[in-house]
């Protein structure tokens, strides 16, 4: 596969449900108390992504100042309050821009609030990905979905030709869910150990201990 792999890290939310400010700035205890967005950015780079686009929104200046994002590109989504879809569109648009004469071959989409994602999980997705397709995560210990049908989750990898249409179709907080459902025949699933839980409520803060 030619062309770089660019990751889009969605980190724009205000964390209103949790009530502790932007999730991007939650301290990750196992990583010296550094901001969660810093940890997630490094996971994507260490997992094999050539470039990382970090989409910020709520308290963006503070997040950018408090987190060491290394060589990652920062995109500020002023419309972050309208839902995840606007952040996905902003991040994918930046990811698909040619850089140094190269056009991306694939785009990884990840959420900042999944502290259990490890570099080897990202590497596993990239190794399995095939051109023209989508490679999604499945977490071995995640609760079974209603009806027992297979479930896909983030992070996921999209062929660059699919990333634009997927982002364009995104609505509200549903992201590209409708696009992916409509193109389920293009999705390959890779299973990772763990449950891939999000940090959504106080009960989830153990993930950061």
pLDDT 10s digits, 119-178: 999 999 999 999 999 999 999 998 876 655 557 899 999 999 999 999 999 999 888 999
**Beta-carbon-side half-sphere exposure of residue 207 (alpha carbons within 13 Å):** 22
How is residue 14 written in tokens?
């205000």
pTM of the model: 0.95
pLDDT 10s digits, 26-85: 999 888 999 999 999 999 999 999 999 999 999 999 999 999 999 999 999 999 999 999
pLDDT 10s digits, 97-135: 999 889 999 999 999 999 999 999 999 999 999 999 999
What is the DSSP track for the chain?
A: --S-EEEEEEE----TTTTSS-GGG-EEGGGTTEEHHHHHHHHHHHTT-SEEEEEE-TTHHHHHHHS--TT-EEEE-TTGGG-HHHHHHHHHHHHTS-BTTB--SEEEEEETT-TT--HHHHHHHHHH--TTSEEEEEETTSPPPGGG----EEEEEEEHHHHHHHHHT-BTTTBTHHHHHHTGGGEEEEEESS------SGGGGGGG-
**Smallest Cα–Cα separation from 6: which of 89, 68, 70, 99?**
99
pLDDT 10s digits, 186-203: 999 999 999 999 999 899
CATH topology of domain 5-203: Spore Coat Polysaccharide Biosynthesis Protein SpsA; Chain A (3.90.550)
Q: Residue ranges per domain, the chain? A: 5-203
């Amino acid at each position: 596969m030619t062309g770089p792999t660019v990751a889009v890290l969605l980190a724009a939310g205000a964390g209103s449900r949790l009530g502790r400010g932007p999730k991007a700035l939650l301290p990750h205890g196992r990583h010296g108390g550094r901001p969660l967005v810093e940890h997630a950015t490094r996971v994507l780079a260490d997992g094999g992504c050539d470039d990382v686009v970090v989409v910020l929104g709520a308290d963006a200046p503070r997040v950018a100042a408090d987190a060491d994002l290394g060589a990652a590109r920062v995109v500020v989504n002023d419309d972050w309050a309208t839902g995840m879809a606007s952040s996905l569109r902003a991040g994918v648009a930046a990811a698909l821009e040619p850089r140094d004469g190269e056009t991306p071959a694939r785009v990884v989409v990840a959420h900042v609030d999944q502290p259990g994602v490890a570099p080897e999980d990202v590497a596993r997705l990239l190794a399995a990905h095939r051109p023209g397709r989508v490679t999604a995560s499945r977490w071995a210990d995640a609760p079974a979905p209603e009806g027992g049908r297979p479930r896909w989750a983030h992070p996921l990898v999209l062929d660059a030709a699919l990333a634009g249409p997927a982002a364009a179709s995104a609505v509200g907080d549903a992201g590209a869910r409708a696009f992916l459902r409509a193109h389920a025949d293009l999705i390959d699933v890779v299973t990772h150990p763990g449950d891939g839980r999000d940090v959504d409520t106080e009960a989830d803060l153990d993930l950061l201990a």
